[in-house]
Amino acid sequence: MAEPTVLIATQCAVRTLTLNRPASLNSFTLAMHGELMAALEAAAADASIRALVITGAGRGFCAGQDLADPAMAPVDGQAPDVGAVVERHYKPLALRVRSMPVPVIASVNGVAAGAGANFALCCDMVLAARSASFIQAFSKIGLIPDCGGTWLLPRLVGRAQALGLAMTGDKLPAERAEQLGLIWQCVDDAALADTTMALATKLAQMPSRALAATRRQIDESMPMSLGDALSAEATTQGVLGRGGDFIEGVAAFLAKRPAVFKDR
Ligand code: T3D
């Protein structure tokens, strides 16, 4: 039987998905796209899961599209339909991660290149090992950043750094990525697993529904006026205010006890 391209593990309420094609730095094949999407759907549907971690097996996080995947090879001299691959696989993947009902942490254990870098940046919080790096490798093969790169990069680091990273395709060390605000935190390699699990456990104990709504609100606020963003906040706050987590959060505060959140 073929080795799974995504390993799935659960510890308490934290689901960890490990991209598992280490010989090619966990680059994406169509098979891995399928298994990853199925794993994301399963985590979204499982009410016992309250935080998701995505990491890579071996020395890399993900090297983007597997450039040796037969699906990428020309057929009868015709170039592969790269646009169709992006539309059918990378777009749903990015949107699925961005709409998960629970917080998603990318635990970047090594190089994250091409769509692998932008897949990590789609996640809510990115922790990276000090030896890890981020590479917008697309320009080196005549493409533009995909998997959300053209949207994410300027929003995370501004136009000047976004264009510099995308045009040069230079390797950005994790420490510099943290300084630029591209990622949440860079930690010593030996501390990555524990730091990731501590963060995931903390987020798993928080009100998932409010965290997912926070992500949505921030994403949707980008093109809005302040007035529209304030109205959207009021609408979302109205929904959350009628939920069990708000009642529980306030009751726990007043009773000086830890809250137990359940909404998703
Ligand atoms: O359909 C579409 O194509 C559209 C979608 C596009 C999305 C994209 O992601 S486009 C960008 C694709 N990715 C890249 O261009 C990155 C290619 N990889 C690299 O530039 C380098 O491997 C790294 C900088 C990421 C790491 O370098 P290094 O020196 O640490 O490792 P290495 O020796 O290059 O790679 C180790 C092995 O992984 C090697 O195999 P081998 O020689 O040991 O058998 C290498 O060929 C393989 N590998 C790395 N990246 C890929 C890959 N194999 C297939 N596809 C890859 N992307």
Nearest atom of ligand 1 to the alpha carbon of 90:
5
Atom nearest to 111 CA in ligand 1:
25
User: Alpha carbon of 229 to those of 68, 79, 183: distances in Å?
Assistant: 45, 44, 24
Tell me the pLDDT band of 28, cut-offs 50, 70 and 90. Answer: very high
CA–centroid distance, residue 140 to ligand 1 (Å): 11
Distance CA 164, CA 170 (A): 8
> Taking the CB of residue 234, how many other CB atoms lie within 10 A of it?
10
pLDDT tens track for 81-118 = 999 999 999 999 999 999 999 999 999 999 999 999 99
| Ligand 1 atom showing the smallest separation from residue 67 Cα | 55
Mean pLDDT of 65-77: 87
Give the pLDDT score at 119.
Answer: 98
Distance 67 CA to ligand 1 centre (A): 7
Residue 75 has pLDDT above 90, yes or no: no
CB of 30 sitting under 6 A from ligand 1? no
pLDDT at 1 over 90: no
Ligand 1 centre to CA of 42 (Å) is 28
How far is it, in rounded angstroms, from Cα 220 to Cα 215? 9
- Ligand 1: residue of 24, 72, 89 to mutate (most ligand atoms within 8 A of CB) is 24
CB of 25 sitting under 6 A from ligand 1? yes
Provide the pairing of β-strand 171-173 with 125-129.
unpaired
Q: Above 90 in pLDDT, residue 137?
A: yes
- What pLDDT does 264 receive? 87
Is pLDDT of 230 > 90? yes
Residue nearest to atom 21 of ligand 1 (CA): 63
Q: What is the pLDDT of residues 168-213, one digit of tens each?
A: 999 999 999 999 999 999 999 999 999 999 999 999 999 999 999 9
Average pLDDT over residues 53-78: 92
16 CA to middle of ligand 1, Å? 24
Above 80 in pLDDT, residue 71?
Answer: no
- Single-letter code of the amino acid located at 195: T
DSSP letter for each residue of 54-106: EEESTTEEE-SB-TT-GGGS-BTTBPP-HHHHIIIIIHHHHHHHHT-SS-EEE
Would the pLDDT of 164 be above 90? Answer: yes
Distance 62 CA to ligand 1 centre (A): 9
Probe target for ligand 1 pocket from 67, 134, 152, with the most ligand atoms within 8 Å of CB: 67
pLDDT, averaged across the chain: 96
Quick one: pLDDT at residue 17?
99
Whether the CB of 143 sits within 6 Å of ligand 1: yes
Query: What are the tokens at 183?
Result: 């990622």
User: How many whole angstroms from 111 Cα to the centroid of ligand 1?
Assistant: 10
Q: Identify whether the C-beta of residue 16 lies closer than 8 Å to the C-beta of residue 55.
A: yes
> What is the pLDDT at residue 242?
95
**186 and 178 Cβ atoms separated by less than 8 Å:** yes
Q: Specify the pLDDT at position 254.
A: 96
For 221, what's the count of Cα atoms within 13 Å in the CB-facing half-sphere? 16
The CA 143 to ligand 1 mean position distance, Å, reads 14
pLDDT exceeding 70 applies to what percent of the chain? Answer: 100
**CA 206/CA 200 separation, integer angstroms:** 10
Given this model, what pLDDT does residue 70 score?
83
Strand order across the beta sheet in which 14-19 lies? 6-11, 14-19, 51-56, 104-108, 125-129, 185-187
Whole-angstrom Cα distance, residue 205 to residue 249?
12
Q: What sign does the dihedral 169-149-107-199 (CA atoms) show?
A: positive
Q: pLDDT grade, residue 52 (50/70/90)?
A: very high
Please state, in angstroms and rounded to a whole number, the distance separating the CA atoms of residues 141 and 144. 9
Tokens representing 162 are 């976004």
